[in-house]
Structure 1
Amino acid sequence: MNNYRPLHGLPELAGVATFADAAGPGIGVQECVDRLKCFHYALQRTWQVLLTRIACEPIYELKMGYSYHAHLVAEHITLLRDRVGELRHPPLRLHRVPDQNLQILFDEIRNAPNCGMLMEGLYRVALPALYESMKQYGEDTNPLTDSPSLRLLRGIIPELEDMIQWGEASCVALEEVGQGQHEDLLEWQQELNGWLAAAGGLAGTSEPAAPPEPRYSRGEFSYDSTPKRDERFPDPYNMGVHAEEFLHDTSFESRDKVFMMFFKRLREIDVPEMMASILYETVTGRGEEKGSKRPWGFYRDMTRQLWDEARHAMMGEVGFVRSGISWPSKVRINFTWSKGLNQQLTPRERHAVLWFIEQGLMSKNGKRFEWEVGTDSGDAFSELIQDFDWADEVLHARIGREWYVKDFETTEDASTYGNACWDKVVSDWEKWRKDGLTEHHNWWPDLYREVCKNRGEEPDPRVLAYDRSYAETRADLQKIDGDG
């Protein structure tokens, strides 16, 4: 082999490997499949753990991070599913648990009683173990015979590394403010590593050790879909400013309307909170639909949409920040939509409302209109985010047609059902006020004054006087039933 050379000194083996590396033994198909299934299981459990915390995690930055990582992990799961299916393994049998100790490891993390311990378990134990196992796979497998697996791992490993780095930075930040400090954090980490050792490592390639005693996995997990917010959201029941009526009032200027659109984008934090509940309750069979009734494509596409909605919220956040607006003190972002849907509707009904709203956004008064407002405003950033927001919503409408509308005989039936489900959600504007949950404060004048101050202008009295709420009208401008 040492005397063999490619013709004209051209690169050998298409650049995939050297002859020396390709001539090595590597690992066989069955062992490749066994390890890939372990990776898949770890990612599947990570995806579910992240879904359980998106609604109930109060800290906005963590909520957004979990949403992003859920999307990345869903994409990684898809790649691994496809690869296992190429290795003589239909049926895939990916639902099988590769090792009971690995199952307990993720049960412990899922059941962790607080944010600090969950972050410690996921980002300092489980994901680093997965990262190292994938790197080891790359060293053990033959680079020529198993080139397709290595190609997909080259895409997964860097994103996994980014996730771990974000998690580590988040753990450090939480520890510095006291939220990530717990007396038994080191002991907790040792226990989790003990479960990994008992499984023979994440991919089962080492000699198993004796398992530790279960801690949190002894009890049944209770999923909390109630949205929670941090201290920057002091008035989460506030529905005192009707953003859509302002946007569609032709007497107001587009350059003022963009700030209401920043509010609308940031308010989309509630969509990941709601969508996470659809996904988790469906995949675990906690809703009326068992997970087996939905193919993986449903979960992949819906998790992509979940992440898009989180991105939209951050677009609104950036809009305020770049404009010099302290949004926590000037606007009141509520959680009434996600709270109402999560607590009052089934997963299927929530999906129906989501699709019904998405369909409305496809009209001439929907996302195209908001993009036109952004364009007309003269603010390049507003035009940019509405351009991508519109594109995302077109994709979401397609996702809805694929995974919701097909359950009905006609699109009209799907729309009627979605509207009826939305009508079922009780949003008692007056009761929240009487119960002292909110005064439905009209925060628009304060925001508008700050905008004008930054512009060096005097506020327009007519714009300053805007005072319409959601007391009688939904976000789609439909009247609310007085009995609801």
Structure 2
Amino acid sequence: MNAYQTYRNLPALAGICSMPEAMKPGLSVEACVTRLKRYHYAYKRLHEIFTARLTAEPIYELKMGFSLHSHYCAEHVSALRKRVGEMREPPLGLEAIPGANLEIFFDEILCSPTTEELLLGLYEKAVPALKAALEQHLQDTNQLADHPSVRICRFALLEVEEMEKYGRQAIESLVDAKCRERAKSWLEMLEECLEAAGKLDGTGQLSEDVPTGRFYSAKPYKYDGHPKRDERFPDPYNMGVNAEVFLYDEQYPPAPKTLMMFYKRLREIDVPEMMASIIAETEDKPWDYYRDMTRQLWDEARHAMMGEVGFANLGIEWPKRVMVNYTWSLALNTQLKPIERHAVLYFIEQGLMPKTGKRFEWEVGLASQNPLSGLFQDYDWADEVLHARIGRDWYVKDFKNASEAVHYGDECWSRVLMNWESWKKQGLTQHRNWWPEVYKAACERWGIKPDPKVLSYSTTYQTVRADLKNLVGSA
């Protein structure tokens, strides 16, 4: 029995563990670093998968979930890179692949052909394996000597458990017995890969042999930049409502303007779809680039959900009433190179900073007497300030000055063709003006009569590029 006593029974060792626990042997620095590198590899591959599969995933809720989980993974990659760098490890060797079997494991999930198999691979195999590895680290390492790693693992486990919970519910909702049976052989192959890899953390029995041939990854993965939407988006080519024209017109009062801002926020679904294409198709950047860009991607997904919440708060079923288009992400992803998409993103962001930009939207939100609108626009504005900084850090620095960077973004944006009339001629859309019925529904919730002036609002999307150029010119 240990007779060690602290002064007046105060917590020993800063409260991180007991004295007997601190006396237990643990991982050496070398063994610890070996495991950390494998967690790093797993998080990096998960980040790649969540980002790469986001755009072409049609289900809105999964787009949002993938956006968040990609952000989580990017943050934990950064934390692990920093920790490995603290542990006598120059050069770090963080780009090395820790075994062929682990590489195949993640390649297979990346290449899975259906949403159901993707969910099973991510949330029944990869995420639980990572969770088990982090938990094992906490059991095996010395809590005092390796406390910086312990802290990283504890924080990581909070979000891994959140990811696992989300995935479990998604699988319960979308994967039936037939789907699972079709995926049975493939899921067994993933298990074989993990076992041959010595489990995700390498603590099991390692095998140099690849247990089976590749399934889906026999053909290398190719990023799909065409955005897809589920059946709740019946008219993704609809460009019949120009939110900016309405919002900046002084004749309209704040209340309907904040309703239009909920639409603007929800419409930002296409920003993660476009940003995912930049991240997926841009190679050989420092990791901080991918971390920062993924943070912005997640922010834009949050903004879309703010719009979703705004409509729900008003009792408006947005899938039935609001036509949320994907024409912006479709055009940029299919017509421009990654650096040109980033240029357009930066150009548009510059129009959000002057008085007719985010401050104006926040003021409208406050004036509308809608507490959610004021709150959401307050945070949306703060996010955009951060995004402007990200743009300066990773886009503007490659130009002589900010003016040249904006000019290039203007030039790239001017080359993007929005096939307004062509989409209509092909029967893809009628560009229906859905605004009056949404405004009427909001007025019913507010208990007021619709304003005839607001009700008769009608415009076309053709003025958007000119509007944006005017905004940027005033910045």
Q: State the TM-score, normalizing by the size of structure 2.
A: 0.96
Superposed counterparts of 1:206-285, under 5 Å = 206-208=204-206, 211-282=211-282
| Residue 417 of structure 1: aligned partner | 408
- What residue number does 2:399 align with? 408
Please identify runs of 4+ aligned residues in structure 1 that moved more than 4 A. Answer: none
In the alignment, the residues of structure 1 paired with residue 160 and residue 221 of structure 2 have an alpha-carbon distance, to the nearest angstrom, of: 26
Measured in 1, the distance between the counterparts of 2:242 and 2:3 equals 78
Q: Secondary structure at the match of 2:204?
A: coil
2:192 matched to 1:194? yes
Equivalent position of 2:308 in the other structure: 317
Query: Which 5+ residue runs of structure 2 have no aligned equivalent?
Result: 471-475
Residue 447 of structure 2: aligned partner: 456
Distance in 1 between residues matched to 2:128 and 2:147, nearest whole Å: 24
3-state SS of 1:142 partner: coil
Mapped partners of 1:173, 1:475: distance in 2 = 44
What's the counterpart of residue 77 of structure 2?
Answer: 77
Task: Quote the residue 1:343 is aligned against.
Answer: 334
In the alignment, residue 182 of structure 2 is paired with which amino acid?
A: D
> Distance in 2 between the 1:14 and 1:275 partners?
44
**2:202 is matched with which residue?**
204
For residue 25 of structure 1, give the secondary structure of its aligned residue in structure 2: coil
Bigger mean CA offset, 203-212 vs 70-79: 203-212
Q: Find the aligned partners of 2:462 and 2:153 in 1 and give their Cα distance.
A: 52
Cα distance in structure 2, aligned partners of 1:442 and 1:327: 14
CA contact under 8 A between 1:242 and 1:475: conserved in structure 2?
A: no
Q: Distance in 1 between matches of 2:170 and 2:275?
A: 24
Name the aligned partner's letter for residue 384 of structure 1: L
SS in 2 for 1:238: coil
Q: Which structure 2 residues correspond to residues 157-196 of structure 1 after superposition, within 5 A?
A: 157-175=157-175, 181-196=179-194
Partner of residue 428, structure 2 = 437
Partner of 2:417: 426
Q: Distance in 1 between matches of 2:459 and 2:162?
A: 44
- Deviation string 1:36-63 (CA, Å, 9 cap, x unpaired) is 0000001100000111111000000000
The code of the aligned residue for 1:122 comes to L
* Counterpart code for 2:32: C
Residue type at the aligned position of 1:132: A
| Distance in 2, Cα, partners of 1:157 & 1:333 | 36
Q: Give 2:37's aligned residue.
A: 37
Q: 1:365 is matched by which residue type in structure 2? A: T
Paired position in structure 2 for 1:101: 101
**In structure 1, C-alpha distance between the alignment counterparts of 2:181 and 2:8, rounded to whole Å:** 66
Percent pairwise identity? 54
Could you tell me how far 1:424 is from its partner in structure 2?
A: 1.2
Rounded to whole Å, the distance in 2 between the matches of 1:160 and 1:455 is 41
1:165-209 Cα offsets, whole Å, 9 max, x none, are 100100000035x8x824322332221111100101101111135
Alpha-carbon spacing, 1:99–1:312, altered in 2? closer, same or farther (3 Å): same
Contact 2:239 2:431 in 1 (8 A): yes
Deviation at residue 329 of structure 1 after TM alignment? 1.7
| Higher mean C-alpha deviation, range 244-253 or range 205-214 | 205-214
Which residue of the partner structure matches residue 384 of structure 1? Answer: 375
- Is 1:306 the equivalent of 2:297? yes
Q: Which residue of 1 aligns with 2:320?
A: 329
Determine helix, strand or coil for the equivalent of 2:50.
helix
Partners of 1:430 and 1:471 within 8 A in 2: no
Matched, 1:116 2:120: no
Counterpart-to-counterpart distance in 1, 2:366 and 2:441? 22
Q: Distance in 2 between matches of 1:302 and 1:224?
A: 19
Q: Cα deviation per residue 1:215-266 (whole Å; 9 max; x = unaligned)?
A: 1121121210100001111111111111001001111110011111000000
Structure 1 CA distance for aligned equivalents of residues 235 and 463 of structure 2: 20
2:348 to 353, 357, 361: 357
Return the alpha-carbon distance in structure 2 between the equivalents of residues 158 and 17 of structure 1: 19
**Aligned twin of 1:53:** 53
Deviation at residue 475 of structure 1 after TM alignment: 7.4
Which deviates more, 263-272 or 217-226? 217-226
Of the structure 1 ranges 183-192 and 333-342, higher mean CA displacement relative to structure 2 is found in 183-192
Cross-structure match for 1:285: none
Q: Distance in 2 between matches of 1:92 and 1:364?
A: 47
Deviation, 1:71, is 0.4
Is the partner of 1:223 in helix, strand or coil? coil
Please say if residues 13 and 19 of structure 2, whose CA atoms lie closer than 8 Å, have aligned partners that are also in contact: yes
Asked if the contact 2:351–2:468 (Cα under 8 Å) also holds between the matched residues in 1, the reply is no
Deviates more, 1:109-118 or 1:85-94: 85-94
| Greater displacement, 186-195 / 22-31 | 186-195
CA contact (8 A) 1:99 1:199 kept: yes
Q: CA deviation at 1:478?
A: 4.1
Is 2:282 aligned against 1:295? no
Residue of structure 2 equivalent to 1:370 = 361
Cα displacement (A) at 1:337: 0.5
Match of 1:287 in 2: none
Q: Would you say how many aligned residue pairs link Structure 1 and Structure 2?
A: 468
- Note the C-alpha offset of 1:157: 0.3
Map of 2:473 onto structure 1: none
1:346-388: CA deviations, max 9, x gaps? 1111111111111110111000000000000011111000000
**How big is each residue's C-alpha offset from its partner over 1:135-175, in whole Å with a ceiling of 9 and x where there is no partner?**
00110011111010001111000110110110010000003
Amino acid at match of 1:371: W
**Aligned position for 1:137:** 137
- Provide the rounded CA distance (Å) in 1 between the counterparts of 2:469 and 2:79: 43
Whole-angstrom distance in 1 between the partners of 2:290 and 2:447: 49
